Structure 1
């Protein structure tokens, strides 16, 4: 089988060399960065172009190929395992975007420093098969009364049985003679993702048992019937504990070769000269040995590989960015679907899938030296057989590559397992398990015919450091690599002849800003709303290179691209502005620039008048003498900005409001019955918008007292009737006042006034509406009755 795979490798190499022809896109000679294959190991597959374990964005190009060999030493847990691998790889470029690769391990050595941590060491043909373990109860033990339970397999119980174990003896479990029922191993049965292996594996499924880290011994004699001491487990796991890289390792040190092989492609999506490279790496990983035969399983017990019968499929996304000529950043993320370990229709182990992530920086100082720093994570995900001491490794790799030639590399790196299961990683552990012991020392002394042999359930709970668990040490490793191959010739630097700017023509050299809103150019002045200048550049290149035109302006902005553009100066302040034109023929702006100047000035403007209409509103009714009247200027239409008002009146005086739209006019006391005219003159910033308007207000005439009755001597009833008539007149003018003036002898006047007051009181009339006046002494009594309206002069009624 191995000869066939070596023949396959040789055939693939010969075909790749035959397909290798002339290159396509050439790398520049001045680029110091070189390419070499990845080493891989410890999770990532080796072979694709990259750093030590991280894939960068580069690929081999058509006509290029590489052979690579490396020596990689690294540490893994559980088991404090030290692995050494010698990977061989070959890559060939198909074009600027795709390379094919093949990788295999020419040698693999594995040393287990803590074998008691690994379940594979407790298998019936492994180095520690006689040590205690936690297993699924074997067939036939005490009439299968413990079927399906996790039981304790005591020390020295399991005799050596060769793989595949089925039908072999499972031991006596402390029962004398054949009283145990002659239990046997296997056969495997279904049990979910991983098969159940009675007498061998764990109750969780898989062929791997739980481990026992610590036991308690009961001395010989007394309750222990055996010639050696009896033991019970005190620290143990029901679930298996296994190393994902070599889950069936069965001895302290094992060696193998050409067991793991990977084939795949690295596909770049971005262009070969793009400083950012992204793409995918699909690959298939397969194993030359598996658990289908005794010899194949023996190789797996040497630590050759996980032993998946159908292999694994992976897909890795990669990306890198050339940040500086001397600095490159790379990152990877990927997923590997791992096949289960199967044999004869049974699943020995349900392997977890892998989620890979990595980040790296490299520093191509020059074309001969490249320091590298990598950070890598490997996570086991998805449904899988439980792993009691599972470790998801984190690696830090620091090293450098030396390139004596572009096509040859020498590399060396230090590798550190950052999260090994050292003392600090297990001090906060919580550890709980329980197991059945089919036979423990009884109370009645030595066992006779099984008497005194009683089952017992052991429960343990540990928090903090796990007793019996030996922490891992020395998590240090290293990588040494060598590669050789063919590289296409680098593109030599071509001395560029810069382009020449022949002319830069502007459509105008002076730009006049438009008038502000509300203003217009004065007569003879020309202004434009168009603030753009058309620019036309003429340039030539002696080599006929494609030219890119660049423009730099001190104000405004360039609209468009190429030889003909527009220079938009909208919004700039008056002044002089420059435009500098340059051309790029691929070397950057190598030509001599040419500068032009444009002057921007304000337009000579005058206000654009939009006149308003003016009217005046006077008082709506006549005004009583002594009162004020109001006049208001009404402005409609136009812009109504910066208006001034100047008022004048032909009579009276302006009390307030001069200079505003509304004034108050007083001094109407002596203007009874006259008309007052108010005139307003309105001016603004526009001389042509002068306006004048006026309105009038009327001052009312003062009312006169009215004589409504006059009589002499009367009977009291007639007098009272005359008083009633007065109040009737006052009801028609509530604001008026009645005056009763009595003339005559004093006694007669007093008697008449009394009759009047008594009648007013008797009739409940308002006494305040009437004023009694003594008109003076005369020979006979007489009375005059007046109605004096509000505002009338009552001083004349007694003349």
Structure 2
């Protein structure tokens, strides 16, 4: 069975990568998603990837059926070779689902200009090829190696570690005295000589104006794109526009296919007016080949980007970005390897709810590294030094886009909190009596209200009985408090219970009210009446023991009572029961005066 070709293996790996990115969205791709103002400003990044800032991918995705058609003009710089690059990418981004989007970008125009062409190996390589004519590798001997893990090297090429650097003096003009190639990762073979008499015999070198690379990919939102902390995952495939060595030497492409994956995170603050974005990605760089021989071992790329968006108004977004590419893993050594770092400051204007977008910004290459003195060899002159200095590190970006967006609904009015008043039919009851409570609530937004009741100190659950709701349903606005057992001890002091009702409208609005209910103890039982007194003994009549009669003053006839005498009469009596005696006197003749047991009796007129 024949071995699989590397191209076929790469295509299968790409299909698996795209499937892995799209699969997390299969279950929730069509979930409802709010139309937030931030989505109206979901633009396509300059240079051909998904929605985001100018250089940094955003965690937001387009909704199903939304799309963005974008064209840009991007100017930036790279080293070595003091390159000035102009690109015009045209991009199309389509929302496949609410959380999955497809993006396609093509650099329809690309021009690469080297202001230091003699600092590039491609410059010498192409000159040798032109000088000898025919296959560029024939002049140096057949390639040796060609293993899949490392680039082939060519005998007498001058680069002991392998690569594309020819030996000094192989053609007229200056030649770098180095044992390794010097190239730019994206255009490693660029640098054709013009042989005009400027700057040691060479002018600025410009690439052929034409189509650049194409990028296609998918981006999937792993969390809610409109949330506070969105996360997304993207997979991309970068296809070269040319593979022929003639086109590669003229700066059209790297001649190899790149594939990668990026993790995107974001943070949204101040109602999406402040948005932070971070990217970390890994791009596996393909290697250019000729007749099955790997010409160059391009290193993989680690992408580290960060950006901030500030939206002071709906139609304006201010943008700041820091984009970094770090070349990692093994690869052909480079004389002046540079990990490009770019700063971009810009803004975007939006019209018709994001359907028209115009943006631009200033871009600066932060780690320019060609300013140095190097030895060069000139035929007939020998070795001399050459001062190299970069002429420019500033660039720009301009972007225009037409988009289809869902209509932006007006924001809902701010929520107004409800109000509630708690009524009780009695504020003081005895243990065992029932209290009816009613919460009368009002919500100005007509939101559905929920009621939460609480009693402090706590009472048994069965003491709280909802009124007017099915069994097991949440309580409504009416409740009965059964006080049985809350203060059962007769004669105990009263106990006070505080009933609180809490009302919620489901949108953050709340209100509460409370009432105090006093529960008194039962009244102590009435003591039994005393037993009736025993019946009194039968009454016994009093006994008159004696009646004493004595004269008041001197009698008329001593020793006898005579008509007209005044007598003192006293009754001596005793009651056997000790009762108080009442004396009643009467006479058939004469006249008596007095009360009690002693009276005065006048005998005048008796005879």
TM-score (norm 2): 0.63
Q: Does 1:367 align with 2:314?
A: yes
Cα separation, partners in 2 of 1:320 and 1:165, compared to 1, 3 Å:
same
Count of residues paired in the alignment: 440
Cα separation, partners in 2 of 1:595 and 1:250, compared to 1, 3 Å:
same
- Which residue number corresponds to residue 157 of structure 2? 200
- Which residue number corresponds to residue 52 of structure 1? 54
* Secondary structure at the counterpart of residue 335 of structure 1: strand
Distance 1:487 1:24 in 2: 18
Q: Does 1:253 align with 2:210?
A: no
Q: Does 1:165 align with 2:142?
A: no
Q: Aligned-pair distance for 1:361?
A: 0.7
Q: Would you say the 8 A contact 2:49–2:105 is kept in 1?
A: yes
Q: Does 1:581 align with 2:502?
A: yes
Cα separation, partners in 2 of 1:121 and 1:29, compared to 1, 3 Å:
closer
Q: Aligned-pair distance for 1:250?
A: 2.5
Correspondence for 1:482 among 388, 396, 400:
400
Q: Would you say the 8 A contact 2:79–2:338 is kept in 1?
A: yes
Q: Aligned-pair distance for 1:399?
A: 0.3
Q: Would you say the 8 A contact 1:553–1:578 is kept in 2?
A: yes
Q: Would you say the 8 A contact 1:276–1:322 is kept in 2?
A: yes
Correspondence for 1:120 among 97, 119, 122:
122
Higher relative contact order (CA 8 A, sep 6+): 2
- Which residue number corresponds to residue 109 of structure 1? 111
Cα separation, partners in 2 of 1:505 and 1:94, compared to 1, 3 Å:
farther
Cα separation, partners in 2 of 1:187 and 1:378, compared to 1, 3 Å:
closer
Q: Aligned-pair distance for 1:352?
A: 0.3
Q: Aligned-pair distance for 1:207?
A: 2.6
Q: Would you say the 8 A contact 1:24–1:61 is kept in 2?
A: no
- Which residue number corresponds to residue 472 of structure 1? 390
Structure 2: runs of 5 or more not aligned: 1-29, 193-204, 432-436, 462-472, 478-494, 520-607
Q: Aligned-pair distance for 1:56?
A: 1.3
Q: Aligned-pair distance for 1:288?
A: 2.8
- Which residue number corresponds to residue 389 of structure 1? 336
Cα separation, partners in 2 of 1:550 and 1:360, compared to 1, 3 Å:
farther
Equivalence map 1:151-550=2 (5 Å): 160-162=131-133, 164-168=135-139, 185-190=141-146, 193-200=150-157, 202-209=159-166, 236-251=177-192, 252-290=205-243, 296-308=244-256, 311-325=257-271, 326-405=273-352, 406-421=354-369, 423=371, 468-494=386-412
Q: Would you say the 8 A contact 2:418–2:505 is kept in 1?
A: no
* Secondary structure at the counterpart of residue 385 of structure 1: coil
Distance 2:450 2:278 in 1: 34
Q: Aligned-pair distance for 1:270?
A: 1.2
* Secondary structure at the counterpart of residue 364 of structure 1: strand
The one-character-per-residue Cα deviations of 1:553-585 (angstroms, maximum 9, x if unpaired) are 9999xx9x98699xxxxxxxx999895734233
Q: Aligned-pair distance for 1:190?
A: 3.6
The one-character-per-residue Cα deviations of 1:138-173 (angstroms, maximum 9, x if unpaired) are xxxxxxxxxxxxxxxxxxxx97124532433xxxxx
Distance 2:33 2:288 in 1: 46
Distance 2:457 2:276 in 1: 39
The one-character-per-residue Cα deviations of 1:275-320 (angstroms, maximum 9, x if unpaired) are 3211100111111311xxxxx2111111111111xx1111011111
Distance 2:425 2:136 in 1: 97
Cα separation, partners in 2 of 1:120 and 1:93, compared to 1, 3 Å:
same
Distance 2:293 2:325 in 1: 28
The one-character-per-residue Cα deviations of 1:614-658 (angstroms, maximum 9, x if unpaired) are xxxxxxxxxxxxxxxxxxxxxxxxxxxxxxxxxxxxxxxxxxxxx
Cα separation, partners in 2 of 1:210 and 1:395, compared to 1, 3 Å:
farther
Equivalence map 1:650-669=2 (5 Å): none
Cα separation, partners in 2 of 1:363 and 1:344, compared to 1, 3 Å:
same
Cα separation, partners in 2 of 1:543 and 1:240, compared to 1, 3 Å:
same
Q: Would you say the 8 A contact 1:364–1:371 is kept in 2?
A: yes
Distance 1:359 1:507 in 2: 64
Distance 2:453 2:304 in 1: 45
Q: Aligned-pair distance for 1:594?
A: 3.3
The one-character-per-residue Cα deviations of 1:107-132 (angstroms, maximum 9, x if unpaired) are 11111011121111111x43xx4xxx
Q: Would you say the 8 A contact 1:330–1:361 is kept in 2?
A: yes
The one-character-per-residue Cα deviations of 1:175-212 (angstroms, maximum 9, x if unpaired) are xxxxxxxxx53344447601011233622122334789
The one-character-per-residue Cα deviations of 1:578-624 (angstroms, maximum 9, x if unpaired) are 957342333x31x6x232155999xxxxxxxxxxxxxxxxxxxxxxx
Cα separation, partners in 2 of 1:159 and 1:373, compared to 1, 3 Å:
closer
Distance 1:202 1:346 in 2: 17
Cα separation, partners in 2 of 1:494 and 1:327, compared to 1, 3 Å:
closer
